[in-house]
């Protein structure tokens, strides 16, 4: 009997460790509103938040979770992250529900990146509003325009290194071939036909496979597919749940969607996010191993196109 009791207790604790579902439909959020143990976090820009937000939602714009313009995928300094988490009144017993605009599949990456950041800071009661504010409005659910403030928490977060891949770790993984490297970018980036403005070289990490972040959504929407459909999609992708996996992109945005799909929806273990991604990789003092790097003439053409886009758009 004691052994059975211990087993039941252990299972209960494991279930409690992540009781919140990673995805919530807008209608599933409504019953949670007003509960002191629930915090809806609106990561849109302040103007969009002021124009109408989920009742009770606090504003925490996406930019405040990101690094500098030269390496936007980089995590902000730990003290800054701690202050952000505390200002939102977050603690391990608070269910954080992240909502973004829901404009498209790329926008979902913002929610996934904030979700990943909060989990890396030790929080486990986490969800994303599937479809974002676009789905909320489509469901004709209530909106509020009053700014919301909450009492700060005293939670002292600590980064969970098991969720984070550093550049040094990535160099070792590439050299040893010890991890499945998953490039979440559209195929043109993976093939080296274009690059992020802040990346120095087009191409992808040596040995990486391409799983576009948009694979996980209902066509033409920002609605993440159901878990069963995600499993079907994964079965056709070069994903191996038995292998340590690192998701990356340009700046850890699209990659956060792939991390979310593999880790939170599919339940794969040992999935990390390389937050700095290709921008960070190409800024190393020495050229690091890459595939699909175009020749110098092709790189100059890409540089020219990016200059035109930056100058005249």
Question: 76-91: per-residue pLDDT in tens?
Answer: 999 999 999 999 999 9
Q: Give pLDDT tens digits for 169-204.
A: 999 999 999 899 999 999 999 999 999 999 999 999
Same domain? For 248 and 123 the reply is no
Residue 12 reports pLDDT greater than 50: no
Residue 7 has pLDDT above 80, yes or no: no
Phi then psi for 308, rounded to 5 degrees?
-60, -45
pLDDT value for 231: 97
**Which residues 6+ apart lie within 8 Å of 292 measured at CB?**
190, 191, 192, 202, 203, 204
- 38 and 96 fall within a common domain: yes
d(CA 289, CA 98): 36
Shared domain for 172 and 305, answered yes or no, is yes
DSSP at 56:
T
In this prediction, residues 282-309 reach a mean pLDDT of: 95
Q: Is residue 4 part of a domain?
A: no
pLDDT of the residue at 311: 83
Give the ranges where 32-77 is alpha helix by DSSP (H): 46-51
Is the separation of the CB atoms in 22 and 127 below 8 Å? yes
pLDDT at 309: 87
- Residue finishing a domain among 131, 159, 187: 159
CATH number at residue 140: 3.40.250.10
Same domain as 245, residue 123: no
Tell which wins on pLDDT, 77 or 10. Answer: 77
To which H or E segment does residue 83 belong?
helix 78-87
Sign of the C-alpha dihedral, residues 234, 237, 243, 248?
Answer: negative
Percent share of the chain, pLDDT over 70: 94
| Residue 57 exposed, middle or buried by CB count within 10 Å (0-12, 13-18, 19+) | buried
pLDDT in tens, 217-246: 999 899 999 999 999 999 999 999 999 999
Say yes or no to pLDDT of 57 above 60. yes
Query: Has residue 10 been placed in a domain?
Result: no
Are 34 and 94 within one domain? Answer: yes
- Regarding whether 94 and 136 lie in a shared domain, the answer is yes
Q: Assess whether 172 and 308 both reside in one domain.
A: yes
Residue 7 resides in a domain: no
Is the domain of 54 the same as that of 125?
yes
- Out of 126, 159, 192, a domain closes at 159
Tens of pLDDT, residue by residue over 94-143, are 999 999 999 999 999 999 999 999 999 999 999 999 999 999 999 999 99
From the list 198, 197, 202, the residue with the least C-alpha distance to 183 is 202
At residue 286, does pLDDT exceed 70? yes
Q: Which of 117, 139, 159 is the last residue of a domain?
A: 159
Cβ contacts of residue 107 below 8 Å, gap of 6+?
A: 100, 101, 132, 222
**Within a domain: 193:** yes
| Domain range enclosing 74 | 16-159
Q: What is the mean pLDDT of the chain?
A: 93
The verdict on 143 and 245 lying in the same domain is no
Between vectors from CA 232 to CA 230 and to CA 234, what angle results, nearest 5°? 70
Could you tell me if 133 and 167 lie in one domain?
no
Give the separation between CA 227 and CA 266, rounded to whole angstroms: 7
Query: What region, left, alpha or beta, does residue 106 occupy, with left being phi > 0 and alpha being psi -120 to 50 degrees?
Result: alpha
The count of domains in the chain is 2
Q: Are residues 290 and 194 in the same domain?
A: yes
Q: Over 90: is that where the pLDDT of 5 sits?
A: no
Please report whether residue 6 resides in a domain.
no
Q: What is the reported pLDDT for 9?
A: 44
User: Are residues 20 and 154 part of one domain?
Assistant: yes
Q: Is residue 2 part of a domain?
A: no
Quick one: pLDDT at residue 15? 44
Residue 3 lies in a domain: no
Averaged over 29-56, what is the pLDDT?
A: 98
- Distance from first CA to last CA of the chain, Å, rounded? 70
Looking at residue 10, what is its pLDDT?
Answer: 43
Residue 4: predicted pLDDT: 43
pLDDT at 2 over 80: no
| 263 domain residue, yes or no | yes
Residue 313 pLDDT class (50, 70, 90 cuts): low
């Amino acid at each position: 009997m004691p052994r059975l009791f211990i087993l039941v207790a252990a299972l209960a604790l494991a279930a409690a460790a992540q009781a919140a579902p990673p995805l919530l439909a807008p209608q599933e959020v409504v019953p949670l509103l007003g509960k002191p143990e629930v915090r809806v976090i609106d990561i849109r820009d302040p103007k969009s938040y002021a124009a109408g937000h989920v009742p009770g939602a606090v504003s925490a714009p996406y930019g405040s979770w990101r690094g500098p313009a030269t390496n936007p995928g980089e995590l902000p300094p730990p003290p800054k992250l701690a202050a952000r988490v505390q200002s939102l009144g977050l603690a391990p017993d608070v269910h954080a529900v992240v909502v973004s605009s829901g404009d498209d599949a790329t926008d979902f990456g913002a929610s996934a990146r904030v979700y990943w950041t909060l989990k890396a800071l030790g929080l486990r009661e986490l969800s994303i509003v599937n479809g974002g504010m676009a789905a909320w409005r489509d469901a004709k659910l209530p909106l509020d325009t009053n700014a919301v403030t909450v009492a700060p928490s005293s939670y002292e977060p600590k980064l969970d290194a098991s969720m984070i891949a550093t550049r040094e770790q990535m160099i070792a993984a590439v050299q040893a071939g010890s991890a499945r490297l998953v490039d979440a970018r559209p195929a043109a980036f993976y093939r080296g036909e274009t690059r992020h403005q802040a990346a120095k070289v087009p191409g992808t990490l040596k040995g990486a496979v391409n799983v576009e972040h948009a694979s996980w959504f209902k066509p033409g929407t920002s609605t993440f597919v159901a878990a069963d459909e995600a499993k079907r999609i994964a079965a056709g992708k070069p994903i191996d749940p038995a292998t340590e996996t690192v998701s990356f992109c340009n700046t850890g945005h699209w990659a956060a969607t792939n991390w979310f799909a593999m880790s939170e929806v599919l339940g794969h273990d040992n999935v990390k996010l390389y937050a700095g991604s290709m921008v960070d990789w190409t800024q190393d003092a020495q050229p690091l191993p890459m595939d699909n790097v175009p020749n110098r003439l092709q790189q100059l053409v890409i540089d020219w196109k990016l200059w035109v886009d930056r100058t005249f758009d």
